[in-house]
Amino acid sequence: MKHILTCLLTLFLIPVVARSADTPPNETGLGYASASRLEEFTGEPVFVSMQQLWEKRGGWGGVLTAKDGTVIAFQSPGGGNCRRSRDGGKAWDPDILLAPDAREGRALVNETNGDILYVNPPMGWLYRSRDSGATWTRETVQIRPDGFGNAPKTEGVSAMQCGITLAFGKHKGRLIMPARIMGPKSSNAVEWRPYHYSTALYSDDGGAVWQTSKPFPVLGTGEAALAELSDGRILYNSREHMSRGNRFMAHSDDGGDLWIGAYRSPDLPDGGRGTSYGLMGGMIRLPVAGHDILLYSNVDNDAGILPSKVGGSIATGREKSTVWASFDGGRTWPVKRLVYDGPSAYSNLGVGRAGTPSQGKVFLIFEGGPKGSHEAVQIVSFNLSWLLNGKNLNDLLPKPSTEPVPTK
C-alpha cells in the first residue's frame, strides 16, 4: 500500500520554473487581499499582552476577522465554541456554543457576501453566521473525492489554519481550506502517520459542495496553512507529522487543485528541533496591495530529544511561541520575534480589517501557559512594527526592477 501511494503521489512532483522576483503582481480585480495600506500595520509598535480565552486544550482553534471588524476566535475539539471581540481584541464577549455537534470544523470568511462559515465537509455540515458570529444556523453540505476516490474523513479539516476566499484571477471568490487525508485506514495511530497527506477542499458555490484537491506531493504531511499571493498563486505550508526537519512548502497555479514544487523550507521549523515530531503552525498574508508579506507561527526551540523507536512520538520542546515574517512571498524569512517564552503548542494567525478597531493588528491564537503547552487557549495581538523590533521595513521590502521593459 505504501508503495502504491508513493507512486501516485510522485506523479505530482512536477518541476516548476520559478517566477522571477521582478515579476509584477497581478493587481487586476482587486479584492480583500489588497484592502489595506501598509501604513496601517506600521507606526508605533503595538503589542497587546496575552489573554486566556479558554481553559484546557483547544489546539484546533482559529481566529479571523469579520467584515465589520469583529474578531472571532474559535475553539475545538469538544464542541464548536467561539468568542467575539468588537474592540480589536482588547475585550472578549462570553463564550458562544455553535452546537454540540459542531466539532473539528474549520472557519473562514466568505468575502463575497461577508458570511462566516464554520464547516466540516467530511461530516456533512456547516454552520453559517450572517451577523459576525453572534448567531449560527446549520446547513447540509456535500464533499467530492479526488481523482483517486479519496476525501478527508471526520478529522480531515481539524488542526488547520482558517480557510480563505481567493481574491485574484479566474477563481476569484472560491472558498478554500487546507485539509488532510489520514492514510488508507483513516487512522491517527502512530503506524499510519507516515501515510497521511495534506490536501485542500474548495467550493465555488458558497460552501454547498466541496471538492477535494489533488494530493499535496509529500507523504506523511498534515495540519497545514495556505495563503494566496498577489499574482494568484496559492502557497501551501504543511507539517510533516513525524517531522525530520523544517516545514514543507508547495504552491498551486490553478486555484488550489494541483499542488507542485514541494520543498522543505530552510527557515521555518516544524515543532521543536531535534524531536522528530512536527507541530501545527499558522500562515497568513497581510492584506496589502502590491506586497506579499507573509507571517508564520510555530515554536522556536532546540529540544534535542529523539523518540526511542522509529515512528515514535515525542511532543517535548513545545515552547517559545514565535512569529516569522517574509517580505518576498515566502522565498526568505528574515524576521522573527519571540511572542511567548513558555510552553506552547498549536497556533493560528489572523489579521484585522481596515477602517475598524482591528485595523493594522495581527492576532496569534495558541495553546500554552506556564503550566504546560496544552494548559489553555491564549491570544495576543501586535502590529508589524512590533514584529520588526527596530528593523527598517524599507530594507526588507523587495526593490523594484530597474531593468527596461522589452519592446517588440
> Which amino acid type is present at position 370?
P
Asked if the model's pLDDT at residue 85 lies above 60, the reply is yes
- The CATH number given to whatever domain includes residue 289 is 2.120.10.10
> Is 40 inside any structural domain?
no
Q: 26 in a domain, yes or no? A: no
11 domain residue, yes or no:
no
pLDDT of 78 reads: 60
Q: How many domains does the chain have?
A: 1
E strand spans, 301-389: 319-326, 335-351, 362-368, 376-382
267 in any annotated domain: yes
End-to-end CA distance of the chain: 54
Q: What is the pLDDT of residues 385-402, one digit of tens each?
A: 999 999 999 999 998 766
pLDDT digits (tens, 9 = 90+) for 33-78: 446 899 999 999 999 999 999 987 666 789 999 999 999 999 876 6
Q: What are phi and psi of 161, to 5 degrees?
A: -65, 150
Residue 27, domain member (yes or no): no
C-alpha distance from residue 123 to each of 110, 127, 215, 216 (Å): 20, 12, 20, 22
- Structural domain of 139: 46-396
Residue 150 has φ and ψ, to the nearest 5°, of: -100, 145
What lies within 8 Å, CB to CB, of 406 at 6+ separation is none
Residue 168 lies in a domain: yes
Domain assignment present for 29: no
**Tens digits of per-residue pLDDT, 315-363?**
667 889 999 999 999 999 999 999 999 999 999 999 999 999 999 999 9
pLDDT of residue 260 exceeding 90: yes
Q: What is the pTM of this model?
A: 0.89
CA 29 to chain centroid? 24
Give a yes or no: residue 180 inside a domain: yes
